[in-house]
C-alpha cells in the first residue's frame, strides 16, 4: 500500500478539498469577493499538494511558502466574516428556515469557519517547518491590499457593474473612496500581524524539536 495513505496530512488535506468543494456547490459566490478568490486558490493548492504528496511519497505540501500565505488569508477571511459580516453571531439560524436559507448557512459555515480553521490546524499540526520566511510577510500583506485597490478602482471606473461593492465595509458613503482606501491599511496590518504570529509559532516548534529529541 502507498505509504502516504497512512499519514494524517493526506486525509486532512482531502478533507480541506471536500470542504471547499461542498462550500462552492451549496453556495454562489461572485468572483469579486476575496473569499471566492482565496477559496479557489486553496482548492487548487490542496489538489496539487495531494498529487505532490502521492507522486513524491512525502507529507510536505507542494509549496510551504504559498501554503503560508493561503493560511494567513483564509484565517483573516474567517475573522472578518465573523466580526464584520456576521456581527459576532454564528450563522446557524438559517438551518431552521427554508431550504435556500439552510444552504446559505451551510455555505457560510464551511467557507467562513470550517475552511479557515482547517487551514490553521494544518499549519499548526503539520510541517515542514522554517520554509516560510519573514520576508514573505511583504507579499502576504500586499496581495489583499492590491485586491482592495483594484476593487476600488473597478467601482470608480464601472459604477453600474454588478457586485460593484463586494463587502459592506467597502461602501464609500459620504466620506468617499478615499476613506475606503484608508480602512484597508489597518486590515493589512492585521494580516501581517497574523502572519507574524504563524511564523513565530513555526520557528518555536522548529526550535523545540531538537530539544525534545535530545530528551
Residue carrying C-alpha cell 475573522: 79
Q: What percent of the chain has pLDDT over 70?
A: 96
| Mean pLDDT along residues 194-211 | 88
Nearest CA among 70, 88, 91, 68 for reference residue 80? 88
- Is position 115 within any domain? yes
- Is position 17 within any domain? yes
- Is position 214 within any domain? no
Higher pLDDT, 41 or 92: 41
Lowest mean pLDDT among 42-46, 165-169, 206-210: 206-210
Residue-level pLDDT at 208: 76
- Is position 84 within any domain? yes
The count of domains in the chain is: 1
- Is position 213 within any domain? no
- Is position 42 within any domain? yes
| Mean pLDDT along residues 189-206 | 96
pLDDT band at 205 (very low <50, low <70, confident <90, very high): very high
Residue-level pLDDT at 89: 87
Are 114 and 17 in contact by the 8 Å Cβ rule? The answer is no
Domain with 198 in it: 3-208
pLDDT band at 210 (very low <50, low <70, confident <90, very high): low
Are 81 and 117 in contact by the 8 Å Cβ rule? The answer is no
| Mean pLDDT along residues 200-204 | 95
For residue range 7-32, what is the model confidence (pLDDT) as tens digits? 999 999 999 999 999 999 888 778 88
Q: How far is CA 48 from CA 57, 74, 79, 110, 207, in A?
A: 14, 18, 26, 21, 29
- Is position 73 within any domain? yes
Lowest mean pLDDT among 110-119, 124-133, 159-168: 159-168
128 prior amide bond cis, ω within 30: yes
Supply the mean pLDDT for the chain: 90
Q: How far is CA 76 from CA 9, 81, 89, 140, 176, in A?
A: 23, 8, 17, 11, 25
Apex CA 194: angle with CA 188 and CA 198, to 5°? 145
- Is position 215 within any domain? no
Whether the predicted pLDDT of 211 surpasses 70? no
Residue-level pLDDT at 129: 93
Residue-level pLDDT at 163: 81
pTM of the model: 0.92
Amino acid at each position: 500500500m502507498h505509504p502516504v495513505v497512512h499519514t494524517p496530512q493526506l486525509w486532512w488535506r482531502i478533507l480541506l478539498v471536500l470542504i471547499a468543494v461542498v462550500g462552492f456547490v451549496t453556495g454562489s459566490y461572485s468572483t469579486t469577493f476575496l473569499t471566492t478568490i482565496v477559496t479557489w486558490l486553496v482548492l487548487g493548492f490542496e489538489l496539487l499538494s495531494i498529487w505532490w504528496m502521492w507522486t513524491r511519497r512525502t507529507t510536505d505540501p507542494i509549496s510551504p511558502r504559498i501554503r503560508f500565505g493561503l493560511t494567513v488569508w483564509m484565517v483573516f477571511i474567517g475573522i472578518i466574516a465573523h466580526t464584520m459580516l456576521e456581527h459576532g453571531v454564528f450563522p446557524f439560524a438559517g438551518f431552521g428556515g427554508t431550504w435556500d436559507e439552510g444552504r446559505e448557512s451551510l455555505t457560510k459555515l464551511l467557507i467562513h469557519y470550517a475552511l479557515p480553521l482547517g487551514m490553521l490546524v494544518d499549519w499548526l499540526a503539520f510541517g515542514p517547518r522554517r520554509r516560510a520566511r519573514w520576508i514573505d510577510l511583504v507579499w502576504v500583506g500586499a496581495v489583499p491590499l492590491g485586491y482592495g485597490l483594484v476593487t476600488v478602482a473597478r467601482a470608480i471606473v464601472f459604477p453600474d457593474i454588478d457586485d460593484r461593492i463586494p463587502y459592506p465595509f467597502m461602501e464609500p458613503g459620504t466620506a468617499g473612496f478615499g476613506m475606503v482606501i484608508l480602512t484597508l491599511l489597518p486590515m493589512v496590518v492585521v494580516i501581517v500581524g497574523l502572519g507574524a504570529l504563524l511564523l513565530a509559532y513555526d520557528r518555536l516548534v522548529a526550535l523545540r524539536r531538537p530539544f525534545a529529541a535530545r530528551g
